[in-house]
Amino acid sequence: QLQLQESGPGLVKPSETLSLTCTVSGGSISSGSDHWGWIRQPPGKGLEWIGTMHYSGSTYYNPSLKRRVTISVDTSKNQFSLKLSSVTATDTAVYYCARYSMPPRAAFDIWGQGTMVTVSS
Amino acid sequence: QTVVTQEPSFSVSPGGTVTVTCGLSSGSVSTTNYPSWYQQTPGQAPRTLIYNTNTRSSGVPDRFSGSILGNKAALTITGAQADDESHYYCVLYLGSGIWVFGGGTKLTVL
């Protein structure tokens, strides 16, 4: 079955760029209308949608993060990536990658296990 | 900026019924917002419970149901069990490729 796995540094310095990769296994990232997204959760807080992309190149970002976020895809590796620039301590969070299935399903239906990223000098 | 609202917390007795709602700071929730619901226990990734307003995800017990109640999306747990004690999140599609999560509801079963 389809599985997602996040990877990347667990510690990033303030003002630097956070970079994470999500590897998709058990299925193709280029499959039909599926979208692929990033969601984060600061310690003790709720979930925040960061952005979503389709393998064709369409991207959608949270307006509050748009200036700092880039989501891209590498179909040859069946991976998609997140870059978040100019990070501060408020970007410390567990970062999840997830598949968004378009309607009629319409849900983030498969999630990675999440990876903790701490922003600290 | 549109905010998605949820009750911060709820308490329910074992066997009882509880309804958690998901609203918009401006406007009403409808099926075109494609409401979905997620359950999260500490240290775990969210689990999809309900998608597209009222369809249960595979393996989700039928005591969980989704609906539109008035101007909000709703998640109802009928016959709550101890292991339903979790955080519950909704997410709404606002159009133009934008999704917003609610702030989450902490459910206590006691």
d(CA A69, CA A17) in angstroms, rounded, equals 10
Give the nearest chain B residue to A106 (CA atoms). B52
Check: CB of residue A110 under 8 Å from CB of residue A98. yes
Looking at residue B86, its pLDDT comes to 97
Q: How far is CA A38 from CA A108, A118, B38, in A?
A: 10, 16, 15
d(CA B25, CA A119) in angstroms, rounded, equals 31
Residues 33-62 of B with CB under 8 A from A: 34, 36, 38, 40, 45-48, 50-52, 55, 57
Q: Dump pLDDT digits (tens) for B24-79.
A: 999 999 999 999 999 999 999 999 999 999 999 999 999 999 999 999 999 999 99
Looking at residue A14, its pLDDT comes to 97
**pLDDT value at A96 more than 90:** yes
Looking at residue A31, its pLDDT comes to 76
How does the average pLDDT of chain A come out, rounded? 95
Looking at residue A33, its pLDDT comes to 86
CA distance A33 to chain B (A): 13
In chain B, residues with a C-beta closer than 8 Å to the C-beta of A100 are: 99
Q: Dump pLDDT digits (tens) for A62-81.
A: 999 999 999 999 999 999 99
Looking at residue A103, its pLDDT comes to 83
Ordered DSSP codes for B51-108: ETTTEEPTT--TTEEEEEETTEEEEEEES--GGG-SEEEEEEEEETTEEEE---EEEE
**pLDDT value at B95 more than 80:** yes
First vs last C-alpha separation in chain A: 39
Q: Is A52 on the interface with B (CB under 8 A)?
A: yes
**pLDDT value at A102 more than 90:** no
Check: CB of residue B76 under 8 Å from CB of residue B65. yes
In chain B, residues with a C-beta closer than 8 Å to the C-beta of A112 are: 45
**In this predicted structure, which of A57-66, A102-111, B39-48 has the lowest mean pLDDT?**
A102-111
